[in-house]
Amino acid sequence: MKFSQFVGQDNAKLGVILNALEPRCGGLLLVGAKGSGKSTLIRLARGIFPVITPFVEIPLNITEDSLLGGIDIEQSMREGRRIFLQGLIPRAAGGILFVDDINLLPQELLAPLMAFNGGGDELQTCPGSVQQLPRDCCVMGTMNPEEGDIQPHYLDRFGLCAVMDELPDCEKRLDVLRIFREMPNFQVESDPSLMAMVATAKKHLPEVKVGTAELENISAVAVRNPSHGHRGELFLFYAARAYAALQGHDRIAQSDIERVSELVFVHRRLHTSEEHSDLPQDEKHRESATDQMSPPEPEKKAQSMDADFSLKPRGSAVTASGAEETMSIGNPFQVRRLSFKKDRLKRHAAGKRSKTHSLGKGGRHVRSTMNSAEQDIAIDATLRACAPYQKSRGREVKLIIERDDWRFRQRERKTGHLVIFAVDGSGSMGARRRMVAAKGAIQSLLTDCYQKRDKVAMIVFRQDCAELVLPPTSSVELASKRLSTLPVGGKTPLAAGLLETFRLIKRFGVRHPETRFLTVLITDGKGNQSITVDSDHREEEQELCKLLSAEPKCDFVVVDTESKDNFIKTDMAVRLAENLGAEYYTVEALRAELLSELIQSKNRD
Amino acid sequence: MNFPFVAIVGQEELKTALMLNVVDPGIGGLLIAGEKGTAKSTAVRALADLLPEQTVVHECRFYCDPEGELCSLCRERIEQSELETSRKKMKVVELPLGITEDRLIGTLDIEHALKHGEKRFEPGLLADANRNFLYVDEVNLLEDHIIDLLLDSAAMGINTVEREGISFTHPARFILVGSMNPEEGELRPQLLDRFGLSVGVTGLHDKTQRMAVLQRKAAFDENPAAFCARWENEQNALRQRIVNARDGLPHIEVTDPVLEKIVAITAAMHLDGHRPDIVMMKAARALTALRGQKSIGNQEIHDAAIFALPHRQKRLPFEERGGREKLLKVLEDCLG
């Protein structure tokens, strides 16, 4: 199959071609649902590069030394001196590094990979070995956002990003099917005509003129797409110039810039109002009322693409109380530590709170020990242990390693604690300014998370849908900022809130399998909006509670915001807590609990 | 080839703070906090080309200062004969996030052990970093056990290795420069306090400046050598200014009135410990030297406070804004 035979996905294809033409475009990230042809497209890209171009695939199970280079054990053993093995990154000089499902790559590996994409050029991999990293190589990655996120600062280092379109029309689907009929065995074929086109454009590239006017146009487009820092502009410049060369233009036309700007900014555009923190306060408020619920771009994509669980607002829905207001934060107070009770996973405690020594072979090798139940031998440490004795043991060719020399790997992996705040932002929360008290409670819980260095995420459900207003972050400050601008109003889509929580737990759990979750639901429990039009919201809620409570490693706390001095109280939240197997508190009880705890602990001392 | 330091557009606070650390390495490093893509790493890497030479023990792997703390090897050597010295340029050593303990503090030299049956120390990154800059990008993402080791060495100024049957000590006085994007998580307070100065960096908003960034970066990518050549004169001038400042530093007197002003400021800010006072004094003196002045003026004290105090200000977890205003107010009250 040839690259040009690939049906549709013009943006993604353009991204590949631009990178083939000008590696400074900064690589390409393809975002799309499963089976949308992401990996196929990148494999096909091989056909438009000259044969000698290295094309290095990085498997997810790769170890750090294979990625960056390390000691060649076999050669070292044989020769009795250290021989270095070249890593995969240095081998990709002048070519393509392809990482399928890059969002699943462990973070410690993503760091060096993307650092180098940012232009770092030297890397010390082991003592005594400095590897020169190539500058002219591009990282192409794919990700399915259902499976987990990629951190924004790594995302920012990708020059281009394309979101795979769904192919709704039958004609194109047929085209795809026909290709598979013709070619049952997928094989990458070289695509000479496209290759020639790229070669011509490459030759033309230095002739494309860039004057002040062009730079001004680029700046103007960048200003329209606000993003952090200057990377966006730089990549826009290179991409636009490459595109102009491809079009045979003599200078960068406005249309060239417009054509590539989506590729450059789709993953770095800012959406939330908090980022413009220099706006005057009142303007900020106005903006936050309309705009602040939008999550960052990748998340949004995640939702729209997630066909099974689509939560698109329904057009027919009428909001119960149209008015929206933003409540201030009530006085924070000290709260009792909400505990992680259930722990069905086997783990050893390691002294430091957020770390456990991992069983099995996952995690980072932190140090070597002389004893281990895992029998995971640390070869480098073992070699070091036996080395001094080789002379006295009479080594001739092979190393003589005795049982005492064995060293084992001790690995560590962060077991994050993620605290998810699922906040009811419906109109009923606005009544009697209950939101003020609820925000005070959340603020207090956030303070606690800050002190314990937990990660936090925040989901708000109101009007027609639930939204992840804060993706998991360890910046509690950011959470606090989001909290202060949280508006209330509309119906209570409790079921949607539960579903969003469930999806977040699933998605985050894939990336960070040892994470323990604590979901704090802040609501009065009076759901009145279902996810799908025809079903009953109560049934949906119960189903979701069942799903959620079946998740291992998850604890739930329900904070009831209903005011209990009212004689028509419904205690719906109590039922919700029962369904979830959650601890139940009223806002007032959170405070009271703390007091009694304090007194108890004082008496003990 | 690095992007020339003088060609970096704007970011004056960042550039000054970096240079202050060259003028007086005792200031204790710099924390750069800012959003992504704002030339944080570029500036630190570019600094390497401006660094001056310093006197080291000849052929010492640890760049020992002949008049300071010595490594185990130099201590053995000095018993036999006088130490020879030579000049060596300071450098920027980068600490990768995924570094292991072995690579950081050093370990057994396996090759030597195999060949000669002797245990010998193989230096790690901390050896390279002695009397040099140690740069950690995304310092807030550094693994905890690595931070522990860094803090340990930073506190003592010495790296003591006791592992795999090796005993070795060498000086490890590095100038720690860290960059971070605060959105990704906060820094451990203990590590935070280790940084002498801090600056916040944001993207440039001025249109002409943004254009200049684009133009210069594109020109650099196109032909790094030619671009650097174009800036060489300015680079040289800055190099000379730094050398002059280093030479002038010991001659700048820190008078009692200056000390009184510094203490008045830190007292009004209710800061813990004495490190803020000391860092502020050093920074004010280095600023004076860098500006080619003879005596420390109010402006230098003011600017030094802006560099040295913000990350030490006591604040509640979420108290974010208002901190700087308070500092400015105190400065105005104390300096008039």
Distance from CA of B37 to the nearest CA of A (A): 4
Considering only CA atoms, which of A471, A420, A540 is closest in space to residue A301?
A471
Convert the pLDDT of each residue in A381-435 to its tens digit. Answer: 787 778 777 777 777 767 778 777 877 777 665 556 888 888 888 877 766 567 7
- Whether A127 and chain B come into contact, CB under 8 Å, resolves to yes
A532 and A473 in a common domain: yes
The answer to whether position B192 is within a domain reads yes
Distance from CA of residue A113 to its chain's centroid? 16
**Residue B39 — left, alpha, or beta (φ > 0 → left; ψ -120 to 50 → alpha)?**
left
Lowest-confidence segment of B5-14, B138-147, B284-293 by average pLDDT: B138-147
Q: Average pLDDT, stretch A284-313?
A: 38
Convert the pLDDT of each residue in A494-536 to its tens digit. Answer: 888 898 899 888 888 777 777 888 888 888 888 887 877 777 8
Report the percentage of chain A scoring pLDDT > 70.
70
Name the residue with tokens 């459900």.
A461
pLDDT for B317 equals 43
Convert the pLDDT of each residue in A220-248 to its tens digit. Answer: 888 888 888 888 889 999 999 999 999 99
The answer to whether residue A123 scores a pLDDT higher than 70 is no
A214 and A105 in a common domain: no
pLDDT for A366 equals 63
Contact list in B for residue A476 (CB cut-off 8 A) is 186, 317-318
A580 and A498 in a common domain: yes
Domain-ending residue, one of A226, A248, A271: A271
CATH number for the domain harbouring residue B96: 3.40.50.300
Considering only CA atoms, which of B54, B24, B18 is closest in space to residue B252?
B24
CATH number for the domain harbouring residue A154: 3.40.50.300
pLDDT for A246 equals 92
Convert the pLDDT of each residue in B104-138 to its tens digit. Answer: 888 877 777 777 777 888 888 999 999 999 999 88
The answer to whether position A442 is within a domain reads yes
d(CA A324, CA A286) in angstroms, rounded, equals: 11
The answer to whether position B14 is within a domain reads yes
- Domain assignment of residue A115, given as a range: 1-61+92-121+130-170
Q: Average pLDDT, stretch B248-273?
A: 88
> Between the ranges A67-71, A133-137, A207-211, A431-435, where is the mean pLDDT highest?
A207-211
A570 and A489 in a common domain: yes
pLDDT for A339 equals 47
CATH number for the domain harbouring residue A594: 3.40.50.410
Pairing of strands A138-143, A28-31: parallel
The answer to whether position A185 is within a domain reads no
The answer to whether position B272 is within a domain reads yes
The answer to whether position A175 is within a domain reads no
Considering only CA atoms, which of B99, B130, B114, B119 is closest in space to residue B167?
B119
- Whether A299 and chain B come into contact, CB under 8 Å, resolves to no
A103 and A166 in a common domain: yes
Q: Which residue in the set B97, B213, B215 is minimally distant from A111, CB to CB?
A: B97
Handedness of CA A352, A358, A359, A365 (dihedral sign): negative
pLDDT for A363 equals 57
Tokens of A508: 């985050």
- Interface confidence, given as ipTM, is 0.72
Report field, pTM of the whole predicted structure over 0.80: no
The answer to whether residue A354 scores a pLDDT higher than 80 is no
- Domain assignment of residue B20, given as a range: 5-201
A227 and A210 in a common domain: yes
d(CA B120, CA B167) in angstroms, rounded, equals: 9
- Whether B329 and chain A come into contact, CB under 8 Å, resolves to no
pLDDT for A331 equals 57
**Looking at the 3D structure of chain B, how many domains does it have?**
2
Q: Which residue in the set A115, A387, A447 is minimally distant from B113, CB to CB?
A: A387
Domain-ending residue, one of B135, B170, B201: B201
B170 and B99 in a common domain: yes
A253 and A105 in a common domain: no
Q: Catalytic residue at B75?
A: no
The answer to whether position B62 is within a domain reads yes
Do residues B170 and B71 lie in contact, with contact meaning Cβ atoms separated by under 8 Å? Answer: yes
pLDDT for A51 equals 78
B296 CB burial (10 A radius; 0-12, 13-18, 19+):
buried
Kindly determine whether residue B184 and residue A228, on different chains, have CB atoms separated by under 8 Å. no
Kindly determine whether residue A80 and residue B117, on different chains, have CB atoms separated by under 8 Å. no
- Whether A176 and chain B come into contact, CB under 8 Å, resolves to no
A442 and A489 in a common domain: yes
pLDDT for B230 equals 94
d(CA A388, CA A402) in angstroms, rounded, equals: 12
Distance from CA of A155 to the nearest CA of B (A): 10
A512 and A395 in a common domain: no
Please, which residues have CB within 8 angstroms of residue A540's CB and are 6 or more apart in sequence? A495, A530, A531, A532
B143 and B27 in a common domain: yes
Q: How many CA atoms lie within 13 A of B199 on its CB side?
A: 24
B179 and B90 in a common domain: yes
Q: Average pLDDT, stretch A438-464?
A: 77
The answer to whether residue B280 scores a pLDDT higher than 70 is yes
pLDDT band at B242 (very low <50, low <70, confident <90, very high): very high
B190 and B271 in a common domain: no
Options B103, B210, B275, B291, the catalytic residue: B275
pLDDT for A355 equals 46
The answer to whether position B315 is within a domain reads yes
Q: Which residue has the higher pLDDT, A358 or A573?
A: A573
- Whether A476 and chain B come into contact, CB under 8 Å, resolves to yes
Report the percentage of chain B scoring pLDDT > 70.
97
The answer to whether position B9 is within a domain reads yes
Q: Name the A residues in 64-93 with CB < 8 Å from any B CB.
A: 64, 68, 80-82
pLDDT for A264 equals 93
Convert the pLDDT of each residue in B158-207 to its tens digit. Answer: 888 887 777 888 999 899 999 988 777 677 777 888 889 999 988 888 88
pLDDT for A296 equals 40
Q: Average pLDDT, stretch B57-67?
A: 88
pLDDT for A333 equals 53
pLDDT band at A132 (very low <50, low <70, confident <90, very high): low
Q: Which residue has the higher pLDDT, B12 or A568?
A: B12
Q: Which residue has the higher pLDDT, A133 or B248?
A: B248
Q: Over chain B, what is the mean pLDDT?
A: 86
The answer to whether residue A601 scores a pLDDT higher than 80 is no
In chain A, DSSP finds a helix count (H) and a strand count (E) of 22, 21
Tokens of B58: 């000849």
pLDDT for A310 equals 33
Tokens of A361: 């072979």
Contact list in B for residue A390 (CB cut-off 8 A) is 113-114, 117
Q: Over chain A, what is the mean pLDDT?
A: 73
Looking at residue A567, the DSSP 8-state letter turns out to be T
CATH number for the domain harbouring residue B294: 1.10.8.80
Contact list in B for residue A215 (CB cut-off 8 A) is 211, 214-215
Q: Name the B residues in 181-220 with CB < 8 Å from any A CB.
A: 181-186, 203-204, 207, 210-211, 213-215, 217-218
The answer to whether residue B54 scores a pLDDT higher than 80 is yes
d(CA A423, CA A459) in angstroms, rounded, equals: 6
Beta pairing partners, A456: A419, A473
Looking at residue A132, the DSSP 8-state letter turns out to be E
CA distances from A122 to A69, A116, A125, B137 (A): 13, 9, 9, 14
Kindly determine whether residue A230 and residue B125, on different chains, have CB atoms separated by under 8 Å. no
Q: Which residue in the set A123, A210, A390 is minimally distant from B117, CB to CB?
A: A390
d(CA B108, CA B110) in angstroms, rounded, equals: 6
Lowest-confidence segment of A3-17, A359-373, A560-574 by average pLDDT: A359-373
Considering only CA atoms, which of B273, B303, B312, B94 is closest in space to residue B193?
B312
